[in-house]
Every structure is written in C-alpha cells, then in structure tokens.
Amino acid sequence: MPELPEVETMRRGLLPIVGSTIALVEFPAIPYRPIVVYPSRESLADRVSGQTITAVDRIAKRVLVRLTSGDSIVMQPKMAGIAMLSDPPSEEHVRVVFHLGRATERQASPAQFLYWDRRGLGTVCLWTPDEEATHLGPDKLGPDALLVDAKSFASRFRDCKKAVKVALLDQTLVAGIGNLYAAEILFAAKVSPEARCCDLPKSKWRLIFEHSQRILLKAIENEGSTLSDGTYRNAINGEGSYQNHHLVYDREGEPCTRCKGTIVRIVQAQRSTFYCPKCQG
C-alpha cells in the first residue's frame, strides 16, 4: 500500500541516520517467504559495512540511503513494507537490520535502521549509480508527482486512451501516485475514474493536477494513511492520520460527503476503485 506520502514519511523519519556509519548488517532468520535482496546478502553486507550515510532520498515509492561509496541502499516497500528506525510492528517480520555507529562522539544518532515487511513482497537492493539510473531513470519512471509542473503533467496523460484512474497508476507517466490517492484525487476533481484520458478537457487536467498536489502534500503533513489492517506505520511505529480525511477510499456503500449519493466500488486493472457515480459521472 505505501504510496508517495507514506514513503516520503519514511524518508523523513530516517533523516537522523545521516552522518552515521554502518557497522553491521543483520538478516534475521524468520519462517516466512524471503524478500528479494540484491546483490547477495553477503555481498550487500560486505559492501555497505564501514560506509557513512550521506543522505536519505526518495524516488517515487522507494527510499534511498546514500553512501560515501556512491552506492545507495534502495528499499521498495511495495504492499506492506516499512523502512523505519525502531519498534517494528512485529519482530518476526523484520527482514534487514543495519546497525549503526555514531559519526562523532558528541553526536547522538540512532543505533540502527531496518526494513520490515509482513508480506515479503518488498525489496532491498544495493545499487551503483549506473544501476540506479537503469532501474529508476526516465526510461523507467515518469517525473515525480510532486516535482512535475502542471503543463508537463497534463501533456503526459492527455493523449492516453486508458481510463484516467488506471493511467494515474502508471509510474512511467507520473511516479508516486497509487491506488488510494488516485481515487481521492479524482473525487476531488469530480472526474469519473472510467473516463478516458484523451476525452478530458484541459480544465479537468488542471483540476486533477491541482488536487494531486494538494492531497499528496496534505497526506505527507499527516504522515500518510494507516488503514484498517494497521500495516503502514511511520519510522518509529506511529500511525499516520490521513485516513481520517479519506472521502471515497474504502467507503463503499457510505453516503457521499458532497452530494449524498452512494460511494461504490468497481475493479479497474485488478485494483479496487471507489467513487461517487452521482457527482463524478
């Protein structure tokens, strides 16, 4: 589930590790499906040990921990992963622990950061700059949803024949928007999720862009959305609160807050879509 707001919250939560040195990497033995680790666990541990952390960045839905070697630890949460500092929701789903040393004797810093994943669908990779460019460059990902301007945003979708909700999930067009926030954005813009991108006028694309910026920033301010399954947490195992602002997502059968119609659920590209047919028709 983690989308741009949740991953950006993870990134901000990990900022205290900047300046620390990785002393040891631990891969706890657990009885669940292993996550993908690249390169091998032994190689990753060997290459990051002794490296100092220079920055923590985000590209789309991934957290990148930058190292003095030029390599980056890239954590992709996918459906149920969390990059965090401490207090994981459950010890038995901790996949990787990076034990840290302090940058200076006077600097207080976290003792570790870790990757936790209940479903085991996420990945932890160590990529060189060339590998990062191959996997996360413009041939693979569109511009970040919070960095793209209104004109570029519209131009990337305008000629697309896909349904607008499906297109918003296409990370090669614009990166970072996922299923939850796409539904909320289209509700705010009064656009049917089934409308084809190429049939929408410029005025609607301006609204979709403006609401995408507003909603994503508001969600970051609220540290993301923790849904009923409780899986997503911030870097210190706290809940996000943007779920309290959802107007359509996971509200099937409930009254629309805008027109008193009824929120419905349909399936698009194997994903649930929630919307109000009355005011998004």
Catalytically active residues are 2-3, 61, 271
Q: What single string gives the DSSP state of each residue in the chain?
A: ---HHHHHHHHHHHGGGTT-EEEEEE----SSPPPEEES-HHHHHHHHTTPBEEEEEEETTEEEEEETTS-EEEEE-TTTEEEESS--S-GGGEEEEEEEE-SSTT----SEEEEEESSS--EEEEE-HHHHHHHHSTTT---BTTTS-HHHHHHHHTT--SBHHHHHT-TTTSBS--HHHHHHHHHHTT--TTSBGGGS-HHHHHHHHHHHHHHHHHHHHTT----TT-----TTSPPP-GGGG-SSTT-TTSBPTTTS-B-EEEEETTEEEEE-TTT--
Structure tokens at 83: 């990059």
Distance CA 67, CA 69 (A): 5
Our measurement of the distance from residue 194's CA atom to the centroid of its chain's CA atoms, rounded to an integer in Å, reads 24
Structure tokens at 142: 């569109």
Structure tokens at 162: 């896909």
Select from 182, 176, 174 the least CA-distant residue to 156: 174
